[in-house]
Amino acid sequence: MSQAVAWTDPREQIEFSVLMADGRLAGRRFESREQAEAWAQPDEQVVEYNLVCECAV
């Protein structure tokens, strides 16, 4: 028997990363904004994005 898989709208799958002082994204992703903020240095910025449409939210 096949099981139904719950559908998730990919437009709502937001990821978090850190924009480093040199303008590059950190080489890792975070599950929450809080985790990204805890990892970021004072001169770095937490960013949210959606990989499907590659747009900042």
CA-to-CA distance for 46 and 10, rounded, in angstroms? Answer: 21
- Note if the pTM is more than 0.75: no
CA-to-CA distance for 9 and 24, rounded, in angstroms? Answer: 28
CA-to-CA distance for 13 and 38, rounded, in angstroms? Answer: 21
pLDDT tens for each residue of the chain, 57 residues long = 678 888 888 888 889 999 999 999 999 999 999 999 999 999 999 999 887 766 555
Question: Domain segments of the chain: what residues?
Answer: 11-53
Other Cβ atoms within 10 Å of 36 Cβ, number: 23
